[in-house]
Amino acid sequence: MSSDIEKSMRKTEKLSVDSTYDTNWCDMPPEVKSRCIGKMEFKERLSLRCTAKAERSLVDLAKIEFQKGSISGQLDDGDFELTLYFENGSEISFKSMNERLELMKYIWKVGVFEQLNISMTPLFPGEEAPAFKEKFFACTEEISAKNIHFGFCDIGIILHILRNTKDGVESIEMDGSGNPHPFDEILAIPQVQQTKYWHIINHDNRDGLHKVAQVWIDNNSNIGSICQLSLWTNVYIKHLFDEFLEHCAERIVSMSEERVRIRTDSPDRHILLECVFPRFLRLLVISADMKDSEYDYDYETWIRRIDSWRRG
């Protein structure tokens, strides 16, 4: 009996050794390779992509999570830098991306971003768009991002990114300093219509809030949806507040000097516009059952969120 057990153990050990050391990467089935690729670091995946077309195809199917992606550059020279941040604290940067847009296409395709920061400085008035911009727009892979932050950024780049972002974006924040954002075009994008939090700082376009409210009404937006504007002066606050009253006059439920509440087409929700002095307007979807005494007056939380984003 003892001899039989020893023979069985030796046979098992031999099988284990053979399966571990006598199998090459090229002999593995695709499903096993895919599981291995899912465990690889980003640089390892890039290296594997360069070995063969079959491996490249497998790598391009494997998603990878990024804590943050940061894209910044100047459109006058058509060059930009991409930095990827990982949850373990490591990071990797790629420069001269004008010459490496194929890599950008790959990152868009497989990346799942917790946060995506984009700052592509607009061209000066009168300058022609470089060929780079056309190449950038040719990157039509869908982008997976939970939170998107636009710094001082070219409007065409903003629209292109938003139109190619998958559903599920939770927040969109923009810097409109000296670069008015076209509300009509932005609001026509489904991903913007569905996002729960949208904020524009240094907003100097005297148009928009009643259009946001109408989109929310048309789409029966979820309770808790927020659109917030940071304005240059209280003159803009007065203008936008009065404009909102004019366009939504038939829907007004209640109003005061600092806030107005309107009904939607859904009986269970209202829209509230409130002034957060000295420079903010906030529009939000609330429950129709919410009482005035239940409004959230913790404005410092919102301001801290904006300030922390601007500090990067």
Output the pTM of the full model.
Answer: 0.83
Q: Which residues contact 187 (CB under 8 A, 6 or more apart)?
A: 193, 211, 212, 215
Cα–Cα distance for residue pair 262/270, rounded to 1 Å: 6
pLDDT at 153 (0 to 100): 87
pLDDT at 4 (0 to 100): 52
- pLDDT greater than 60 at residue 97: yes
- Between 168 and 124, whose confidence is greater? 168
pLDDT at 208 (0 to 100): 72
Cα–Cα distance for residue pair 193/186, rounded to 1 Å: 9
For residue 147, give Cα distances in angstroms to 52, 176, 180, 303.
34, 18, 21, 17
Cα–Cα distance for residue pair 37/33, rounded to 1 Å: 6
- pLDDT greater than 70 at residue 20: no
pLDDT at 15 (0 to 100): 47
pLDDT at 101 (0 to 100): 82
Record the tokens describing residue 131, joined without a space: 């060929």
Nearest to 94 by CA among 72, 63, 64, 61: 72
Mean pLDDT of 50-74: 92
pLDDT at 16 (0 to 100): 45
pLDDT band for 209, please (50, 70, 90 cuts).
confident
- pLDDT greater than 70 at residue 52: yes
- Between 232 and 62, whose confidence is greater? 62
- pLDDT greater than 80 at residue 76: no
Query: What does the mean pLDDT of the chain come to?
Result: 83
Record the tokens describing residue 78, joined without a space: 């058509």
pLDDT at 64 (0 to 100): 94
pLDDT (tens digit, 9 = 90+) per residue, 118-166? Answer: 998 876 655 555 677 778 888 888 999 999 999 888 888 899 999 999 9
pLDDT at 22 (0 to 100): 57
- pLDDT greater than 60 at residue 17: no
Cα–Cα distance for residue pair 187/212, rounded to 1 Å: 7
pLDDT band for 21, please (50, 70, 90 cuts).
very low
- pLDDT greater than 80 at residue 24: yes
- pLDDT greater than 70 at residue 309: no
pLDDT (tens digit, 9 = 90+) per residue, 269-306? Answer: 999 999 876 678 889 999 999 988 887 666 666 666 65
Nearest to 109 by CA among 164, 158, 55, 72: 164
Residue 249 identity (one-letter amino acid): A
Least confident of 17-21, 70-74, 189-193, 281-285: 17-21
pLDDT at 3 (0 to 100): 56
